[in-house]
Amino acid sequence: MTFQPELLESCRRDTPGASQRIHFNNAGAALMPRQVLEAMQQHLSLEMQMGGYEAAAFARRDIAGFYGAVARLLNTEPRNIAFAGSATDAYNKALSAIPFEPGDFILTTNDDYVSNQIAFIQAERRFGTRVIRAAALPEGGVDPDSVEQLVRKHKPKLVAVTHMPTNSGLVQPIEAIGQICRQHNCLYLVDACQSAGQAPLDVQRIHCDFLSATFRKFLRGPRGAGFLYVSSRVLDQGLAPLFLDLHSADWIASDAYQLHPDAYRFELWERSYALVLGSKAAAEYALQIGLDNIQARVRLLAATLRERLADIPGLRILDRGSERSGIVSVHAPGRKPLPLKIALEAQRINSSISSHNAALIDFDDKGVDWALRFSPHYYNSEAEVDAVVNAMKALVS
């Protein structure tokens, strides 16, 4: 399937919000298609009528289908998928499973997500680990040679890379880094929060041990839902999050428990099944359109927007790297971002602001203290790109 005009029209018909406003904040939270809302409403209604436990038992086949749908997104098996409350929830569970010892290295990049950077600093304080960051290439993005050199020198316990950073249009070479991790036997954690639903992800090619993401962004699912992929290698080594519950393990003697054999050991028993079913509907919707198809359209819209914004005097495009994502980040020297965002909102255009402390290293390097972020999705139209460009021209020229 390619992105024919009929497909765009049907996606827009499925997306009531698309007729209300120009939503270029898909990197924040996308507009949900009605199928996602309906899946959640149906389950909440069942809970109201039958009782929460009874509704979960009634919907058990559909609920089990969540794992299959996410596994298909990643080219893996359902047993390697855990539901999570958010990308950070998934990420921190993965971190908590790693038996860090004083002196262990965590190797990451300058562009990894802010919360991940905070967690690495916390690990330094709590476990005596050390964070090192690989050098960047002159054109932006991490240098895989620097990763390799640091891996050889420090033998890090963990290599952690954010695939598509939140604050710029960069795409990091996660497959090349995965090869290095496999060769040197380091654990590899990929933050795919912005790429899940935006681009194809194949964990067999990425060679990661963990991969975390949310549903609310490019997957167009509900808020409060995410997932963690855990490799069979890690499961077979017996790694498990701190702490467990009666779902993630069985209590088998007064002083013993047995871990769940699958990635369910990274979940807790209680969760919102409406969110699980909404997430399943979102994953299935993305699979139906096709991730290659989605990626091609997102790239096209973002590249057009980037190019046209670059022509506006008074605007500076901040995106770097040899490969670019659906995130377009701009800066207007001498201006404040909030009045710009508010003026766009008045024209029913959604954007978002990245602040300095969301991207300390990157923004210092670029010499800016904020960015305005536009993030179109496949259901956005060329006419919407025109409208955003015209609005920005009028605001900054």
Q: How far is the CB of 304 from ligand PLP (least distance, A)?
A: 23
Q: How far is the CB of 83 from ligand PLP (least distance, A)?
A: 13
Q: Minimal CA–CA distance to 341: which of 330, 350, 333?
A: 350
Handedness of CA 243, 246, 247, 248 (dihedral sign): positive
Nearer to ligand PLP, 87 or 235 (CB): 87
Nearer to ligand PLP, 55 or 198 (CB): 198
Nearer to ligand PLP, 46 or 286 (CB): 286
Burial of 256 (0-12, 13-18, 19+ CB in 10 A): exposed
Is the link from the previous residue into 243 a cis peptide, with omega within 30 of 0? yes
Between CA 304 and CA 60 the distance in angstroms is: 44
Nearer to ligand PLP, 46 or 327 (CB): 327
Note the residues at the interface with ligand PLP (CB under 6 A).
86-88, 113, 115, 162, 165-166, 191, 193-194, 214, 226
Q: How far is the CB of 122 from ligand PLP (least distance, A)?
A: 16
Coil, strand or helix at 330: strand
Q: How far is the CB of 355 from ligand PLP (least distance, A)?
A: 12
Q: How far is the CB of 183 from ligand PLP (least distance, A)?
A: 26
Q: At what angle do helices 60-74 and 273-289 cross, to 10 degrees?
A: 40
Nearer to ligand PLP, 327 or 391 (CB): 327
User: Residue 31 to residues 22, 295, 375, 376: CA-CA distances in angstroms?
Assistant: 10, 17, 12, 11
Residue 255 makes CB contacts below 8 A (sequence gap 6+) with: none
